[in-house]
Structure 1
Amino acid sequence: MIGIVFIAVLVFLFLVGVPVAFSLGITSVILMYLQWGSVRLGSIPQMMFAGVNTFTILAVPLFLLAGKLMNVGGITTRLFRLARTLVGFLPGSLGHVVVVANVIFAGMSGTAVSDASGLGPIVIQAMRQSGFDTEFACAVTATASTIGPIIPPSLPMVIYGMMASTSVGALFIGGIIPGLLMAAIMMCVVAYYALKKHYPRDPFPTAGQLWEALKGGILPAVTPVIIIGGIYSGLFTPTEAAVVVVVYAFFLSTFVYREMTWPKLHQVLRETVRDSAAIGLILATATLYGNVIIRAQIPQMVLNAFTASIHSPLVMLLILNVFLFIVGCFMETISAITILMPIILPLLQSTGINPIHFGIIMVLNLMIGVLTPPFGLVLFVMSRIGGLPIDRLTRALMPWMGALLVALALVTIFPGITLFLPRLLGLGG
């Protein structure tokens, strides 16, 4: 009975438009009252504060800050030029450039929205000028931005690692091959459309052009190597890696490229504080919610219902994938992870599913959700940047969602795609 009330209240609050953080808090308080007959108000802030008073959570505002510094400090533009020089001569030209640029950009930003909003204006303008249609330009840019949270560093993986008590470093390393797999599949789709629609391509770069592009973009491009090398060598933790990325991005923007100004820095800091506060409130109320539902034994009820009939890890993963795909259409990624992991974690443990493997599956699956209406954040960002109505952009995205589903299926069916590198480097898995 308590479980039914819990779900009904939470769904009702979502439907009437109550923000996620307040929905979780209100539902938790109601559940506490139903279970214990009273609410100890003093325990609520203690449980909420415990959820954000962790070293891991420090990475959240830092990765947000790094992505914003890149967007306003000239780093994004130089990465685009580098990617264009490296692969712009291939059939599909700027389509491949977008994918490669997002692979490089992912090494510093960690969020899909940062990738889309940072590269979007540059890429779409260049593609229009080169003769690409707007639908293709917006669709490939939106889809390629989903690589950002898969290739390290990744903000959703930091949140998942905290909620699932799993090594963030192992998650970072585990996302490398799946992220490159996504990029390869996207480049195949780009090549198909390029040959079908006869899109133009850039001439093969000269040695001088290649040198100029490398000179401008090589410093930010090596960021993933610094992060992965530092984590693997034990030089710094994933949270400390976020500090390194921020300092590096600030140094490049201010002292190397000289494009950072006081007004830009003020804007970046304000936006970072605002976004960090919103995420922090969600995490705090999610901790309260997680404690309450565990004490109410709701995860145990779900576990008993599933394990009575499902014993195969693959079947469980397929069911969870369908569930996450539906959830991703209606809920933002971080909210979905914080709400669902306390319930899903016992299912993983009971069926022997590796939490690192599932972490990549969950983030990849929810990335498809950021492209779908009615709540896809990247969908809305690209619609605004490209000046394309939501319905036209959604239709243009359909083949690209198919490509992401292929990547998701491969990562789900073959755990080695995710676990090979963590096992090779002795990080678990």
Structure 2
Amino acid sequence: MSQLMILSMIIFFGLSVPVAVAIGLASMAGIGTTNMPWLVMAQQIFAALDKYPLVAVPFFILAGNLMESGGISERMVDFAKSVVGGVQGGLACTCVLTCMIFAAVAGSSVATTFAVGAILIPAMIRHGYPAPFAASLQATAAELGVIIPPSIPMILFAVSTETSVGELFIAGVIPGLIIGFALMLYVWNYAKRHGLGKQDGEGRLPMLASLRRAWLALLMPVIILGGIYGGIFTPTEASVVAVFYAVLVGVFVYRRLTFTSLRAAIHRSVVSTAVIMFVIANAGVFSFLLNRAGIPDALGQWLGTVFSDKFTFLLGINAALFVIGMFIETSASIVVLAPLLLPVAVAFGIEPVHFGIIMVVNLALGMITPPFGVNLFAACSVAKLPLERLIKPLVPFVGVVIVCLMAITYWPALSLGLRDLVYAK
């Protein structure tokens, strides 16, 4: 049964069948070869979706769309530019810093790409940056949307493996900051070497003026993350607070959120949520059938013979996840692979939260690598460029993230240090 399911899924992928549909059809093929009643599929679909933390997914997606429509992202850009825009290459650094701030609420890299990229990609092009470089930078910086908490992929990992959402969130802070500052260091050096961004400070507001203009926007991540780690509300409740705050500020303070834009934001959020939930539902059936067939135990025994220690296991898993992320959507990869790989990782002495961060960061690379990198397509859409023009400038950005990933992988304190401090008994 398991061989037929996996082979069927690969064939469907090769035929360009949508990921969620391919997983569902492969699950149906598995059920069809056994004596299980078809009612099992409906039961497992319900079980996969009947999890309280998943409530946060649609609300964080909606919060990101409301921030874009309500003018919050625009003010975040102005503030970031006032902080780092005064140096050569400051506009490129602004792109990274804004994505880091926006990610602290939106939890979605695609939402970050559209919200920030719509402002900064044209601005960088006007200041002389090559359009492919600007689009590649935006796609890569938006990756921070799934690493810096709150993060939808982290919620999916937590739900799939029964790991604490709060612990995953706090563990993602330092890795997200490391990747963000590494990207800023690279683009600053790139601008210096190529003579770009010498006029990036033009039109930049003084820091205090931009802070006065953007303080309500900047207060949003403080309220959300402070509320979670201060024990005021859970991550799921925080997602509702984020939506309420975005509506309040966008409608009554900035007066940018109209009924028409609100309706459009809700429509985009419903579509995005439906796609993710459809993937989760079908992946839940797929994972149930693989577990019933004993695949996790067999996989653990096989990996135990292939890898002799934790170091080689992590190296092999990173390589495998990097390739998988290039071809399979991040949500599907996490929901299907996390329950299979985590028991093996624990057997090698890897802490579940640390492994979750490794997996999320690694699969986030899939969002910026061809052929199915969703961030690339989003950035291409904003910059109006064909995908092939982004490949060359994208390679160094991927290299920077991989170097950071290796540090995160082999230095657990980067992920677990802050977690242990916050959750110290």
Conserved? CA contact 1:73–1:260, under 8 Å: yes
The match for 2:104 among 104, 107, 114 is 107
1:3 shift after superposition: 3.3
Please say if 1:257 is aligned against 2:254: yes
- Distance (whole Å) between structure 1 residues aligned to residue 139 and residue 424 of structure 2: 32
Q: String of CA shifts for 1:399-424, please: whole Å, max 9, x gaps.
A: 11110111111101101000001101
- Distance (whole Å) between structure 2 residues aligned to residue 53 and residue 304 of structure 1: 31
1:342 shift after superposition: 2.5
Conserved? CA contact 1:303–1:347, under 8 Å: yes
Q: String of CA shifts for 1:22-68, please: whole Å, max 9, x gaps.
A: 2222222322333xx32312232122111111110001100110111
Please say if 1:19 is aligned against 2:6: no
The residue matched to 1:222 in structure 2 has which SS? helix
The CA RMSD over aligned residues, in Å, is 1.7
Greater alpha carbon shift after TM alignment, 396-405 vs 9-18: 9-18
1:203 shift after superposition: 4.3
Unmatched segments (≥5 aa) in structure 2: none
Letter of the 1:290 counterpart: S
The match for 1:305 among 285, 290, 302 is 302
- Distance (whole Å) between structure 2 residues aligned to residue 346 and residue 38 of structure 1: 28
- Distance (whole Å) between structure 2 residues aligned to residue 90 and residue 22 of structure 1: 48
- Distance (whole Å) between structure 2 residues aligned to residue 205 and residue 275 of structure 1: 35
Letter of the 2:152 counterpart: L
Match of 1:134 in 2: 131
- Distance (whole Å) between structure 1 residues aligned to residue 424 and residue 241 of structure 2: 21
Matches within 5 A, 1:222-237: 222-237=219-234
- Distance (whole Å) between structure 2 residues aligned to residue 141 and residue 44 of structure 1: 40
Please say if 1:45 is aligned against 2:45: no
1:148 shift after superposition: 1.2
Letter of the 1:336 counterpart: S
Conserved? CA contact 1:143–1:371, under 8 Å: yes
Match of 1:244 in 2: 241
1:254 shift after superposition: 0.8
Match of 1:9 in 2: 8
- Distance (whole Å) between structure 2 residues aligned to residue 23 and residue 137 of structure 1: 34
1:222 shift after superposition: 2.7
Please say if 1:393 is aligned against 2:390: yes
1:293 shift after superposition: 0.8
Conserved? CA contact 1:142–1:382, under 8 Å: yes
Conserved? CA contact 1:88–1:201, under 8 Å: no
- Distance (whole Å) between structure 2 residues aligned to residue 346 and residue 20 of structure 1: 25
Identity of aligned residues (%): 37
Match of 2:86 in 1: 89
Match of 1:98 in 2: 95
Please say if 1:215 is aligned against 2:212: yes
Conserved? CA contact 1:25–1:289, under 8 Å: yes
The match for 1:159 among 148, 156, 175 is 156
The match for 2:75 among 64, 78, 82 is 78
Match of 1:172 in 2: 169
- Distance (whole Å) between structure 2 residues aligned to residue 196 and residue 310 of structure 1: 42
Letter of the 2:101 counterpart: I
Match of 1:64 in 2: 61
Match of 1:415 in 2: 412
Q: TM-score, normalised by structure 2?
A: 0.96
Match of 1:189 in 2: 186
Unmatched segments (≥5 aa) in structure 1: none
Match of 1:403 in 2: 400
Please say if 1:267 is aligned against 2:269: no
Greater alpha carbon shift after TM alignment, 308-317 vs 286-295: 308-317
Detail structure 1 runs of 4+ shifted over 6 Å in the superposition.
none
1:345 shift after superposition: 2.0
Conserved? CA contact 1:29–1:39, under 8 Å: no
- Distance (whole Å) between structure 2 residues aligned to residue 313 and residue 50 of structure 1: 33
Conserved? CA contact 2:4–2:29, under 8 Å: no
Conserved? CA contact 2:147–2:172, under 8 Å: yes
Q: String of CA shifts for 1:89-125, please: whole Å, max 9, x gaps.
A: 1221101111111111111111111111111121011
Match of 1:276 in 2: 273
Match of 1:346 in 2: 343
